[in-house]
């Protein structure tokens, strides 16, 4: 892998203005980013495409390229799988606005989850048609904008693991639907190498983070995941996509630069040890 595959991200810069994040990425000589569309930087429901263009101008002046837009969809009540038709339609409009704003930001892709259903529905499986219909709608709109849709899995979501991502991609048959792996979501849920092999050409992106006990979204190298071993697996299968240190939550908001730099230096140490830097 290469250093430029390690993206910048504003997930844990939410106690700083966007200008601070832009300056930080330039200090670290990082110019490709995954843009977390949430307050205070750009919450989807508060912005118009025109206002997103102004954000794009700020990023352009800071020499930052948005590779992926990730609209907040865990803390906020957004779900394409929800049974309530009014909440579901509001969620679908939210994703469409995220696509419109992502397009204005120059993003190549929108990262999305399969939504969240009640425990009863998760057991019965009768949410699936809503998920497939929702993904079809999002992918169709994204296709018009020339964007990909990256499906992420999580045990709390209707798409629980890499196998479910692959099954969904094949069943839906949309050429712009692709997949990703989140280190924390995969940890103790699936075999990492088998999931990399299973997704194959559909592995478009990585969220790299660490887990220590019950603490998730930690800086890589500070937890229990054999991160360098997982990096070597990605190299083994010639992974060419992006790697985002997703430090989602509040753990690192008070030391955003220090946390990002710690992860970046850990990645660089892997590259040096493997003779790639």
3-state secondary structure of 160: coil
Would the pLDDT of 26 be above 90? yes
Which pLDDT tens digit goes with each residue over 169-203?
A: 999 999 999 999 999 999 999 999 999 999 999 99
Which pLDDT tens digit goes with each residue over 58-109?
A: 999 999 999 999 999 987 789 999 999 999 999 999 999 999 999 999 999 9
**How confident is the model at residue 229, as a pLDDT?**
98
Residue with tokens 């892998």: 1
Residue 121 — pLDDT band, cuts 50, 70, 90? confident
**How confident is the model at residue 257, as a pLDDT?**
98
CATH number for position 99: 3.20.20.150
Do residues 131 and 79 touch, judged by C-beta distance below 8 A? no
User: Which structural domain, as residue segments, surrounds residue 266?
Assistant: 3-273
Q: Which residues contact 47 (CB under 8 A, 6 or more apart)?
A: 55, 101
> What average pLDDT is seen over the chain?
96
Would the pLDDT of 122 be above 90? no
∠ Cα 175 98 255 (to 5°): 110
Q: State the total domains in the chain.
A: 1
Give which of 31, 27, 26 is closest to 2, Cα–Cα. 31
Give which of 257, 220, 247 is closest to 25, Cα–Cα. 257
Task: Indicate the pTM of the whole model.
Answer: 0.96
Q: How far from 275 is each of 1, 29, 234, 268, 269, CA to CA, in Å? A: 10, 21, 15, 10, 10
Residue % of the chain over a pLDDT of 70 = 100
**How confident is the model at residue 75, as a pLDDT?**
73
Q: Residue 109: beta bridge partners? A: 68, 148
């Amino acid at each position: 892998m290469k250093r430029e595959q390690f993206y910048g991200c504003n997930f844990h810069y939410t106690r700083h203005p966007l200008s601070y994040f832009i300056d930080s990425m330039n200090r670290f000589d990082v110019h490709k980013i995954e843009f977390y569309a949430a307050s205070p930087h750009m919450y989807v429901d508060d912005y118009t495409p025109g206002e997103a263009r102004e954000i794009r101008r700020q990023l352009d002046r800071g020499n930052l390229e948005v590779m992926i837009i990730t609209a907040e969809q865990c803390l906020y009540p957004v779900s394409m799988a929800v049974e309530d038709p009014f909440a579901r339609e509001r969620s679908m409009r939210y994703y469409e606005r995220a696509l419109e704003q992502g397009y204005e930001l120059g993003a190549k892709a929108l990262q999305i989850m399969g939504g969240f259903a009640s425990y009863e529905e998760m057991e019965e499986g009768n949410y699936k048609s809503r998920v497939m219909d929702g993904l079809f709608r999002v992918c169709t709109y994204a296709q018009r904008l020339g964007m990909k849709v990256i499906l992420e899995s999580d045990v709390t979501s209707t798409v629980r693991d890499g196998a479910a991502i692959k099954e969904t991609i094949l069943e839906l048959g949309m050429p712009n639907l692709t997949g990703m792996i989140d280190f924390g979501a995969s940890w103790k849920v699936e075999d990492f190498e088998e999931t990399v092999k299973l997704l194959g050409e559909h592995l478009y992106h990585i969220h790299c983070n660490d887990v220590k006990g019950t603490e998730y979204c930690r800086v890589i190298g500070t937890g229990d995941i054999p991160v360098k071993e997982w990096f070597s697996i990605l190299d083994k299968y010639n992974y060419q996509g992006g790697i985002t240190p997703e430090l989602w939550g509040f753990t690192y908001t008070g030391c955003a630069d220090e946390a990002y730099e710690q992860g970046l230096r850990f990645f660089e140490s892997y590259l040096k040890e493997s003779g790639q830097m």
